[in-house]
Amino acid sequence: MGLIRPIFEARTYRHLIYLALAFPLGLFYFVFLVTGVSVGFGLIVVWVGIPILFGMVMAWRGLGTFERGLHRAFLDVDIPEPALTLRGEGRFIDRVKDVLRDGATWRTLLWLNLRFPAGIATFVILVVFFTVSVTALTSPVWIGLDPGDFGFIEPSVQIEINNWKPGPSDLWWIVPLGLLTTIAFFHLINGMAAAYRIGGEALLGTSLRRRAEVAETRATEAETRTRLAHELHDSIGHAMTLMVVQAGAGRKVFDDDPEFAKESLEVIEQTGRQSLGELDRVLGILREDGVAAIEPPAPDLSQLDELVRGVREADIPVTLSVSGSVTSLPLDLQRAAYRIVQEALTNVMRHAGSATVVTVDALPAWLDVEITNAPSGIVSTRNSGNGRGLVGMRERVAAYRGASEIGPTVEGGYRVWVRFPL
């Protein structure tokens, strides 16, 4: 069935309509363009030709839009309209320059000029295959007839080879040949339509270079937005966890130690203000069209003391050890290491609340970061890597081709160890 499927598909007949229009449209484009350009250049000495030529340019751009519509209607392909890059100040002469500088203008002209010779070739191929197919399939009707019976055909026209006149039984192979030719004809229709589709996408759509630029820009924007999402998850998640811990601690001692409860509320207020500021900053970046050119907020390893101090204020003992010249490392690497420490401490506050040791060691060849918390006696819901935070850690490490070990310790605590190559 696959061999004869094109005969029964509606798209084959849409393709046939498009191919049948190829020659008349190609002829019209040729006559229109040659006439208009000739008149424009002929009258350019009296300046009348300049607006005529520009009108021709806009006209063939309009024909390009018409051609894209034909592709959409008959060839099942949606070619987006190439965007016109406006570089001038909006004046008419600036618009003229923008149109003439646009590569889509000249690709459209090339396509319209190619339509005439392509239309001639398409017309000839269709007529030849159609004629051969119909003639072969109807051969039982006309083979063996006496042409003189038609009155206007001389009897000498009848097929005769060396006084031998073939009959239907002698030329039985013509009908199967006609069937094969007919099947090939329908496949040829789809093949020629595919060729027109490829040519139209190349010349009527956005240029390959522009497509690559757009794809690269979108990829960069997506990468930046993903990085911003990680930043938002890490910073806001840490702040919210710290606020919850402080609120719980303050509630428990509200009656017995009002001063501590007041300090907890102050920490909550300060943390909330910082989080709102960072959230507003990140959301502002996400709304910007030029998000790819904007870097997210970038904490560095010099802020680890402040980070640890906030966790200690939540009544969680944290020991910080930093060795080596960590502040001289690249800022993006510092940010990745900082976020890993932040996420690990967030998980400690959420799931353990036990004593934690943070070690950051900058060696000549790599940067080691380790966060280990003691057993808490609390049944933890953490696992070895299904949480978004842990996935984010691994993604950050993988981005620098580093190594990581994340999971529970033998003693019952939890350990996060990562190594960044320098």
At residue 119, the pLDDT reads 95
Lookup result for tokens 């004629």: 131
At residue 155, the pLDDT reads 45
Low-confidence ranges of the chain (pLDDT < 70): 1, 85-90, 140-172, 207-214, 217, 219-220, 222-224, 227, 230-231, 233-235, 238, 246, 249, 281-298, 377-388
Q: Tally helices (H) and strands (E) across the chain.
A: 12, 5
Asked whether the beta carbons of 235 and 275 are under 8 A apart, the reply is yes
Virtual torsion, Cα 132, 136, 141, 145, nearest 10 deg: 80
And the tokens for 335?
């940010």
Domains and CATH numbers, the chain: 5-204 (no CATH), 223-297 (1.20.5), 301-422 (3.30.565.10)
At residue 153, the pLDDT reads 45
Q: What is the DSSP string of 85-96?
A: PP-S-S-HHHHH
* C-alpha 76, offset from chain centre: 20
Q: Going by C-beta distance under 8 Å and a sequence separation of 6 or more, which residues neighbour residue 345?
A: 238, 307, 308, 311, 318, 356, 358, 371
The closest of 333, 337, 314 to 416, measured between CA atoms, is: 337
Condensed to tens digits (0 to 9), the pLDDT of residues 47-96 reads 888 889 889 999 999 999 999 999 999 999 998 888 776 665 667 777 77
At residue 127, the pLDDT reads 94
pTM, entire model: 0.54
At residue 385, the pLDDT reads 42
3-state secondary structure 230-267: HHHHHHHHHHHHHHHHHHHHHHHCCCCCHHHHHHHHHH
At residue 345, the pLDDT reads 87
Helix (H) or strand (E) holding 358: strand 356-362
The DSSP letter of residue 299 is: -
The closest of 410, 399, 274 to 340, measured between CA atoms, is: 399
At residue 390, the pLDDT reads 80
- Listed as own residue / partner, the contacts of 20-25 with beta carbons closer than 8 Å and 24 or more positions apart are 20/126, 21/70, 22/115, 22/118, 22/119, 22/122, 22/123, 22/196, 23/119, 23/120, 23/122, 23/123, 24/119, 25/115, 25/119
